[in-house]
Amino acid sequence: MLQFPKDFLWGAATSAPQSEGAASKDGKSPTTWDKWFEMEPELFYDQVGPENTSNVYALYKEEVANMKAMKLNSYRTSIAWARLLPDGKTLNPKAVTFYRSYFQELVANGIEPIINLFHFDMPWWLMEKGGWEVRESTDHFANYASVAFEQFGDIVKKWVTFNEPLVHIECGYYGDAHWPKVRDFKRALQVGYHTMLAHAKAVEAFRLSRYNDGKIGIILNLSPVYPKSDSQEDVEAAKWADHIYIRSFLDCAVKGYFSEEFVQKLKASDLSPETNEGDKTIFKNNTVDFIGCNYYQPLRVQAVSEEKKVETINGPHDLFQGYDWPQKRVNPHRGWEIYPRGIYDIAMRLKNDYEEIPWYISENGMGVSQEESFEDADGIIQDDYRITFIQDHLEELHRAISEGANCFGYHLWTFSDCWSWLNAFKNRYGFYRVDLANDYKRTPKKSSFWMSEVIERNGFEK
Ligand code: BGP
């Protein structure tokens, strides 16, 4: 029997833009997702946009009742900035009523809310000013954070500033999966710098708020980096990948500074972001209480080939390149490697290099397309693959905890199937099936019954 620590948080995660729906209702202003869908609906799977996510705005009471039936003791979602402060300044009373009622419903049912402030959903009014590229965004965010702490801090005791800041930076400024689809490493670094500054300013606002008896953290996608081989070149490539994808966020959030080696590396290639005097103090004074770790897959890298080596760098591709490990186990629906051991490795890293900071698995999960084909005669999806996936990861997590990892919970992505950006409802991740053709009807999957037993026993038989 693998037994988890007392008071372990068992739950699931989603975000406002992926679950609420009602994207243009009750005073919410548009985000980049709403505008982008208006402009290029054909880019979204089956042309399903952010208006039609899993309708939690209307169904939250039913949703919470299902969580309670499953015995969850915690749940993470986010507040939509554009709903709470539609123009960045004016408080929307309908948003306050909705979020207070939603969060109270969770608490009243024994489910601790963990509330995030930004999950890729940049308000359009701020995007028009330049989004995270402009320094003023950091003050707008800090103001929004203060309003959220003031309005909901009596109910919410665990806060998160950002979900996976790497993703809006990389996909929006070094790729084309997020608006504004720019490909410019220098601009990406500026966006990253402002994001982390906005984060630190929000932590500061929390410490100064009336309800600062809670805890505040940040959620990072911590994909452990593995070099192709032990050669000096591959190990060096992995070191830089780790600097970019992990340390630039984790060092800053937990230790309050960026690694000097990385700062110098950027400087040598004229890539340093613009900073102000005093920023270093803001970072130093506003470190987090905990880390949320989203873990889906590792990052495997190798050195760039000899002929591609350059003196000054233009992007991550000049420092390392991806490596396709031939023995990898894959989720064919999403194309992501399945490597449960990664959880153990990242857990040990947090224990050994980050002062044993408290942390939890804030997302882990498996997206599967055409899941209806796994339905049995009673209409229950037999998602044994998900049970195996969760169990394999929990075994590695348990091993890490028994070796001293300071992990306080495990959340699956997600509770009810939700909308997934450009992929919309292609891949389903939930414990509950959502039937889009039938008024968003929820049906528990086999994994929800399995998990419910795990929660009840606070562990499982190996
Ligand atoms: C994480 C995000 C989530 C969610 C999840 C699943 O990176 O925090 O928002 O979407 O990944 O990935 P996807 O939806 O791309 O399949």
Question: CB within 6 Å of ligand 1 — which residues?
Answer: 15, 18, 163-164, 167, 221, 294, 334, 363, 367, 413, 420-421, 423, 427
Please determine, for residue 70, whether its predicted confidence score (pLDDT) is greater than 90: yes
CB proximity list for 123: less than 8 A, separation 6 or greater: 29, 30, 31, 81, 82, 85, 86, 88
Burial profile 399-416: b = 16 or more Cβ within 10 angstroms, e = fewer: bbbeeebbbbbbbbbbbb
Q: What is the largest CA-CA distance in the chain?
A: 65
Quick check: 105 pLDDT over 90?
yes
Instruction: Report which of 119, 15, 105 is spatially closest to residue 63, judged by C-alpha positions.
Output: 105
Tens of pLDDT, residues 227-265:
999 999 999 999 999 999 999 999 999 999 999 999 999
- Domains of the chain from N-terminus onward: 2-460 (3.20.20.80)
* Cα–ligand 1 centroid distance for 15 (angstroms): 10
Residue 287, helix vs strand vs coil: coil
What is the mean predicted confidence (pLDDT) over 205-210? 98
Structure tokens at 50: 């952010």
**pTM across the whole model:** 0.98
Give 413 Cα–ligand 1 centroid separation in angstroms: 8
Cα(111)–Cα(113) distance, integer angstroms: 6
Q: Ligand 1 centroid to 303 CA: how many Å? A: 28
Q: Give me the pLDDT at residue 43, please.
A: 98
Ligand 1 atom index nearest CA of 427: 16
Is 363 among the residues known to form the active site?
yes
Q: Ligand 1 centroid to 420 CA: how many Å?
A: 6
Q: Which atom of ligand 1 is nearest to the CA of 420?
A: 14
pLDDT per residue as tens digits for the range 29-42: 999 999 999 999 99
Closest ligand 1 atom to residue 367 Cα is 16
Average pLDDT on 362-366 reads: 98
63 a catalytic residue: no
> What's residue 243's pLDDT?
98
**Is the per-residue pLDDT at 344 higher than 90?**
yes
Query: Does residue 309 carry a pLDDT above 90?
Result: no
- How far, in Å, is the centroid of ligand 1 from the Cα of 38? 22
Dist CA 111 CA 90 (whole Å): 30
Best residue among 412, 413, 422 to mutate for probing ligand 1's pocket (most ligand atoms within 8 Å of CB) is 413
Output the residue whose Cα is nearest ligand 1's atom 12.
420
Strand, coil or helix: what is 51? helix
Substitution candidate for ligand 1 out of 420, 423, 428 with most atoms within 8 A of CB: 420
Supply the pLDDT for residue 354.
Answer: 98
* Ligand 1 center–CA 165 separation, angstroms: 12
Spatial distance between the Cα atoms of 243 and 40, rounded to a whole number of angstroms: 35
What is the average per-residue pLDDT within 139-152?
A: 98
Residue nearest to atom 10 of ligand 1 (CA): 420
Which residue from 33, 53, 363 has its CB within 8 A of the most atoms of ligand 1, so it is best to mutate? 363
**Cβ–Cβ < 8 Å for 320, 238:** yes
Q: What is residue 311's predicted lDDT score, i.e. its pLDDT? A: 86
What pLDDT is stored for residue 45 in this prediction?
98
* Amino acid occupying residue 87: D
At 52, the pLDDT band (50, 70, 90 cuts) reads confident
Ligand 1 atom having least distance to the Cα of 421: 14
pLDDT(293) > 90: yes
d(CA 72, CA 54): 19
The catalytic residue among 63, 105, 133, 363 is 363
Summary mean pLDDT of the chain? 98
Tell me the per-residue pLDDT of 369-381, one tens digit each, with 9 for 90 and over.
Answer: 999 999 999 999 9
Label residue 302 by pLDDT band (50, 70, 90): very high
Q: Give residue 97 CA to ligand 1 midpoint distance, Å.
A: 28
- Percentage of the residues of the chain whose pLDDT score is greater than 70: 100
Quick: pLDDT tens for 367-422. 999 999 999 999 999 999 999 999 999 999 999 999 999 999 999 999 999 999 99
Catalytic residue among 164, 170, 337, 396: 164
Q: For residue 307, is pLDDT > 90?
A: no
Give the residue, by CA position, lying nearest to ligand 1 atom 5: 413
pLDDT of residue 87 exceeding 90 = yes
Residues in the chain: 462
**3-state class (DSSP) for residue 113:** strand
For residue 308, what pLDDT is reported? 87
Q: How confident is the model at residue 306 (pLDDT cuts 50, 70, 90)?
A: confident
Distance (Å) from CA 88 to ligand 1 centroid? 26
CA torsion through residues 100, 209, 274, 321, sign: negative
